[in-house]
Amino acid sequence: MDRQRPLSIGPLRAFAAVARHLNFNAAAAELHLTQSAVSRKIQALESDVGATLLARSTRSVELSAEGRVLVKALFPMLDRLDEAVRQIRSPSAKARVTVSTFASFTSLWLLPRLEQFQRENTEIDIRVSSSDAMAPIESPDTDVFLRYCAPKFAPAGATRLFNESLTPVMSAVFARQIELGDAPPLKSVGDLALHTLVEEDDAYASAGLASWRHWLRIHNHAELEPRNWMHLNFTYQQVQAAVAGHALALARLPLVADLLRRNELHEVFGEAFRTAGPGAYWMVVNPNAVGRPEVDGFCRWVLQQAEGTRAFLA
């Protein structure tokens, strides 16, 4: 048998349905086929692949090791295929740009700006996928990646949006309480010992170049202990804690620039106490998406927005 030829879509659909339900009857109902027809398709697929994909017993169906490998590739492929068909069938289908970035960048930088883009580009839909993992640059389901990393780790062809800078921040309400004497003073770095500091809940990150510990070492207070530590998972959660007045955050300045501009946050010690972060923010375009008008337009808009952030940092 020639196992080099492409697999037929029918048996793959049958296998996907059985893998989802782990039940032949449920799969047959989903596909509007008989159970025996589904079974024959699975047998044909196993013959083509040259491996047993399902471990069958009297009462249960389980994926074999080979079946789990196939499912990992199959489900995303069928999702993309179905989405493409839906767009083709829809008489009002719009151009779409799929953007992958990390959750804190989505919440603090991209989303506050995205409404403007969609208001000015009603013919384009935007799909944002938030993940800390960088998918392959030529991933067929992602057009644009917005990422944070050290320059040496930036993918080939990446465009730098802006550099990192770190600064202690507090809420405007808390700043007012300090001014009125309703909260402990905060005139020098040593006064941080009277306050709660929020840090990333990760042993590696908390010891890294973007941590309070590193910032305190730079400013000659390596041994300082705050009144309390608050540990949170994500950058945007740390910023939310600062905005709510629960703690002081060592904020990534590009991500809180809008909050500072609107006076929702204040820099605790001013610009003189900003420190450079270990990385920068980048845009990477899938080579297969270059040239599509909607992708090119979105990228131009991102660069314009980044220019505004750089101007504020300067």
pLDDT digits (tens, 9 = 90+) for 192-201: 999 999 998 7
**pLDDT value of residue 193:** 96
Four-way CATH pick for 94-314: 3.40.30.10, 3.40.50.620, 3.40.50.300, 3.40.190.290:
3.40.190.290
Residue 206 is predicted with a pLDDT of 46
Alpha-carbon distance 287 to 156, whole Å? 11
Q: What is the pLDDT of residue 210?
A: 83
* Longest CA pairwise span in the chain (Å): 84
How confident is the model over 94-114, as pLDDT tens digits?
A: 788 999 999 899 999 999 999
pLDDT of 133 > 70? The answer is no
In this predicted structure, the answer to whether residue 77 has a pLDDT above a threshold of 90 is: no
Residue 91 pLDDT grade (very low, low, confident, very high; cuts 50, 70, 90)? low
CB 235 within 8 A of CB 130: no
pLDDT at 312: 87
Residue-level pLDDT at 3: 57
Q: State the pLDDT at residue 295.
A: 94
| Arithmetic mean of pLDDT, 187-216 | 84
**Residues of each domain in the chain carrying CATH 3.40.190.290:** 94-314
Q: Quote the pLDDT of residue 306.
A: 96
Q: Which residue has the higher pLDDT, 208 or 191?
A: 191
166 in Cβ contact with 275 (< 8 Å): yes
Q: Could you give the count of Cα atoms lying within 13 Å of 249 in the half-sphere of its Cβ?
A: 26
pLDDT of 130 reads 83
Residue span(s) of the chain under CATH 1.10.10.10 come to 9-89
Q: What is the mean pLDDT of the chain?
A: 88
Q: Which of 138-142, 277-281, 294-298, 304-308 has the lowest mean pLDDT?
A: 138-142
Residue 247 has what pLDDT? 95
User: Above 80 in pLDDT, residue 58?
Assistant: no
- Can you tell me the mean pLDDT for 285-293? 90
Q: What is the mean pLDDT of residues 288-298?
A: 92
The CATH class, in words, for 9-89 is mainly alpha
- Identify which has the larger pLDDT, 2 or 251: 251
pLDDT of 226-256, one tens digit each? Answer: 999 999 988 999 999 999 999 999 999 999 9
How far from 305 is each of 130, 279, 283, 309, 310, CA to CA, in Å? Answer: 19, 19, 12, 7, 9
pLDDT one-digit tens code per residue, 137-155:
777 778 999 999 888 988 8
Residue 83: per-residue pLDDT? 73
* Residue with tokens 């590193």, as numbered in its chain: 214
Which residues are bridge partners to 150 per DSSP?
A: none
Given a contact cutoff of 8 angstroms between Cβ atoms, the answer to whether 29 and 35 are in contact is no
